[in-house]
Amino acid sequence: MKAARIYGAKDVRVEDVELKNLGTIDVKIEVAWAGICGSDLHAYSQPEGLLPTDEVHPLSNRKIPLTLGHEFSGTITEVGSDVTSLKVGDRVCVEPNLRCGTCKECREANYHLCRNSGAAFIGLADDGGFAEYCVLDEKHVYQIPDHMSLEQAALVEPTAVTHRGVELAGVKAGDKVLVTGAGPIGLLTALCARAAGATSVYITDVSKERLELANSFGFVTSLNPTEEDVVARIMKDTDNTGVDVAIECAGVQATFDTCLSAVKITGTVCLVALFAEDPKLPTFQALIKEAKVVSSLAYANSYDRVIDLIASGQVPAEKVITNKIGLEAIVEDGFELLLNDKSQSKVLVSSK
């Protein structure tokens, strides 16, 4: 079968590979769509530290070359003899976080924090979904409703990331929310905040195209920090109070500072983005506000709810899709496009 495999920095090859054998608790998925994530871009540009490059990962027993792709959907074509939750023909999406299932964190249902995984994912530490087929343990696979499209299903994974961020930030009905960064995660965070009951949602970015996409949602106030003082605008709109919650989805010092400045006294700042460099925390500003700074990593125990939110239209995640491409074009029209064209948001890759 064809698969997009990474060998090193900016070395992804679409090539013929052998699909691993089906185990007794495995299912075989014919991949329909797979989304390119910011983590995939980091892996493509600089795999060291994100992918197992020198030593095998302790859970997957794999290292590069690996098939990338952890946001994907498809149809089951074969099931192992002991599979009980799924059957051939089921349309599915994938929860890709690797976990041992036996450590304290896994036993307490915090499997996304598995101490033996190191926050590893299928598609980053084991073969993933940028391929025609994928074989996975059934525990990673969720059936989707009949009325849900496979394109929507490929967006369950990134939406689950943002759903958890909104949940840990404590967004509730009537809240005013700031989201910094209008990439796919920021846009999906805005959609999840609205679904959680936020009545005002601000989103910031320096890309006019991304802000235009945010504006198309119909409820977002888009702010470009190169053209407007974001904090001053929010304070003006909120009678000098600030937002209830600020969710950081850009991963730079400037936007973290904006979140802390724009949040109200006793408000919450939630870190969702990965930072290339650890930010400094302005402790005095945090202290005089008694601001809560929390962090959110991936997701756990939420896939069923996220599937329902997307399928019901409460979170129209498909709005973030800006391009669809074939597997053979994944390097030039996928990775390179996203690295160089900041007007793009979510690119979906077809296995065909």
pLDDT band at 49 (very low <50, low <70, confident <90, very high): confident
Domains along the chain with CATH numbers: 2-154+316-350 (3.90.180.10), 160-295 (3.40.50.720)
Are 1 and 132 in contact, with CB atoms under 8 Å apart? yes
Are 116 and 104 in contact, with CB atoms under 8 Å apart? no
Mean pLDDT of 268-296: 93
Query: Omega into 65 within 30° of 0, i.e. cis?
Result: yes
Quick one: which of 4, 6, 24 has its CA closest to 14? 4
pLDDT band at 352 (very low <50, low <70, confident <90, very high): confident
The torsion of the CA quartet 29, 31, 33, 36, rounded to 10 degrees, works out to: 90
Q: How high is the pLDDT of residue 106?
A: 97
Q: What are phi and psi of 172, to 5 degrees?
A: -135, 175
SS3 311: helix
Could you give the residue ranges of the DSSP H alpha helices within 154-252? 156-169, 184-195, 208-215, 230-237
Are 272 and 161 in contact, with CB atoms under 8 Å apart? yes
pLDDT, tens digit (0-9, with 9 covering 90-100), for 152-174: 999 999 999 999 999 999 999 99
Count CA atoms closer than 13 A to 79's CA, side-chain side: 16
Q: What are phi and psi of 266, to 5 degrees?
A: 70, 15
Q: Are strands 243-248 and 176-180 parallel, antiparallel or unpaired?
A: parallel
pLDDT, tens digit (0-9, with 9 covering 90-100), for 98-152: 999 999 999 999 999 999 999 999 999 999 999 999 999 999 999 999 999 999 9
